[in-house]
Amino acid sequence: MFNIQEFIEENLTEGYLNHAFFKNQVKIFALNYLNRGQIEQECFDRINKFVEENEPYPEEGEEEPEE
């Protein structure tokens, strides 16, 4: 059976990583899904934590900064 919550979480986080969405967009989208009852609070919290703890993948040909 199709799980809309898993679909939303996966696509928002992947979209953030591949630069399809900015951090603020992901947070706004997640809040809208939460308000519509399509995701639960725990899923919303996981999405927000994910974008706070992860940086998007670098653009192709762009080198990651050295520490």
The token pair that represents 43 in the structure block:
């899923």
Does residue 25 lie within any of the structural domains? yes
Does residue 24 lie within any of the structural domains? yes
pLDDT tens digits, one per residue of 5-63: 999 999 999 999 999 999 999 999 999 999 999 999 999 999 999 999 988 776 666 55
Does residue 35 lie within any of the structural domains? yes
Does residue 33 lie within any of the structural domains? yes
The token pair that represents 36 in the structure block:
């519509």
Number of domains in the chain: 1
Does residue 36 lie within any of the structural domains? yes
- Residue 57 confidence (pLDDT): 73
Distance of alpha carbon 41 from alpha carbon 37, whole angstroms: 9
| H helices present in the chain, as ranges | 4-17, 23-35, 41-53
* Model confidence pTM above 0.85: no
Does residue 10 lie within any of the structural domains? no
Does residue 34 lie within any of the structural domains? yes
Torsions phi, psi for 54 (to 5 deg): -125, 145
Does residue 27 lie within any of the structural domains? yes
Kindly indicate the confidence band of residue 64, based on its pLDDT and cuts at 50, 70 and 90: low
Domain coverage including residue 34: 16-53
- Residue 22 confidence (pLDDT): 93
